[in-house]
Amino acid sequence: MDTKVKNTETLLSLGQFHISEDCGFILPEPLVDLPVYYKPWMDIARNVLELIFSHSLRLRIHNMPLLETHLLRTHCELRLAHLALSMMTVGYVWQEGERETIKVLPRNLSVPFCEVSQRLGLPPILIYTDAVLANWKKRDPDGNLELLLTLPGGESVRGFFLVTLLVELAAVPGLKSILDVINGIHYNDVAMVTKALDVVSQAIGSMKQAFKLMHEYVDPSIFYGIMRIYLSGWKDNPSMPEGLVYDGVQEKPMEFSGGSAAQSSILHCFDELLGVQHEGSSGKITISNCSLMIMLDNIRCCTNLWSPLLKNQGIISFAT
Ligand code: HEM
């Protein structure tokens, strides 16, 4: 189906792009457990912290059975599996810190991890999509949040991922308004466009407010000294210059970047809308999410149209 704005007669909505109206790119209501067959994974993933501290995670993973992945049927099951396998993987790699890394990920972890990653179109490493967007649950009826799975770094890890989740949530009204901008341009409705841009601006303000919570909940020395290591990848990393061999998948080592906010789809949508360009490779992501690609395509298509339109109306000059 062609969802480009110029070919459509109806208003675009987030649902068309498989993006949640309420949560944006956040996975709405992530599962907290997998089918019982996957208990060996979840038992380890839930105890990654203790196993790292006792230096026994690698041994536990060596003794883990090689499980089939075809029993993972739904998107939510696959997302929880990816989160669990990625937490195990970064724990396995960095268990002894940056010096005593390993070169090979054992096949009982690497084979299912690569299969699940392929089905989701994600890289086989812990990324933003796992740690932030699919790693939360409601702790109590008041709506307080908790992580599903965690890494070394204590309360700072919790604060870091959950504050980022709040930043994503604060962006959702702005994401909806991006479509109003596109729709407004399609219908030459300048009032609709300006109103939508105002909402985008407010959403960015709310994101900044939410981000300030980092100061309260994250200790910078813990982020830098502990968490950063588990978030780093094996691409251009001096601690793992050759990358990582995923045993049973391919003999040649593979390189993947670790988690970063540059992987946030919502930030890319705002960048695309506002014409923000990043220097070097800081803002680059490999987009394998089909819905996001179509969404960005639509935004691009509309920003090519909107600058002359709004300039003619004397409304803006900042977008070019
Ligand atoms: C809205 C939330 C976030 C913002 C605005 C943000 C932004 C930044 C910025 C500006 C830096 C410093 C870059 C530099 O000075 O070189 C940084 C560092 C870093 N961020 Fe984020 N970040 C966010 C969330 C995340 C998340 C959720 C992850 C992981 C999943 C992550 C992973 C990292 C890592 C690993 C570094 C350290 C890189 C290094 O020095 O080795 N960030 N982030």
Residue whose CA is at the smallest distance from ligand 1 atom 10: 261
The CA 261 to ligand 1 mean position distance, Å, reads: 6
Residue 7 has pLDDT above 50, yes or no: no
The CA 260 to ligand 1 mean position distance, Å, reads: 5
Tokens of 73: 């049927």
Tokens of 88: 């195990």
Residue 169 amino acid letter? L
The CA 85 to ligand 1 mean position distance, Å, reads: 22
Residue whose CA is at the smallest distance from ligand 1 atom 19: 260
Answer whether 263 contacts ligand 1 (Cβ < 6 A). no
Tokens of 159: 């604060």
* Model confidence band, residue 315 (pLDDT cutoffs 50, 70, 90): very low
User: 222-261 pLDDT, tens per residue?
Assistant: 999 999 999 999 999 999 999 999 999 999 999 999 999 9
Answer whether 164 contacts ligand 1 (Cβ < 6 A). yes
Residue 320 has pLDDT above 90, yes or no: no
The CA 82 to ligand 1 mean position distance, Å, reads: 21
Mean pLDDT of 61-77: 97
Tokens of 164: 């980022």
Residue whose CA is at the smallest distance from ligand 1 atom 16: 282
The CA 48 to ligand 1 mean position distance, Å, reads: 22
DSSP code string of 22-82:
TTBTSPSS--S---GGGHHHHHHHHTHHHHHHTT-HHHHHHTS----STT--SHHHHHHHH
- Name, in order, each residue with C-beta under 8 angstroms of 21's C-beta and a sequence gap of 6 or more: 13, 14, 15, 176
Per-residue pLDDT at 186? 83
Cβ 286 vs Cβ 262: under 8 Å: no
Mean pLDDT of 67-79: 97
The CATH code of the domain at 1-23+155-218+261-320 is: 1.20.58.480
DSSP code string of 193-231:
HHHHHHHHHHHHHHHHHHHTHHHHH--HHHIIIIIHHHH
Per-residue pLDDT at 11? 76
Residue 20 amino acid letter? S
Per-residue pLDDT at 280? 67
Nearest ligand 1 atom to alpha carbon 128: 30
pTM of the model: 0.90
The CA 73 to ligand 1 mean position distance, Å, reads: 33
Per-residue pLDDT at 291? 64
Mean pLDDT of 69-83: 97
* Model confidence band, residue 182 (pLDDT cutoffs 50, 70, 90): confident
Residue whose CA is at the smallest distance from ligand 1 atom 14: 282
**Rounded distance between C-alpha atoms, residue 244 and residue 253, angstroms:** 5
Task: Dihedral sign for Cα 199, 205, 206, 208, please.
Answer: positive
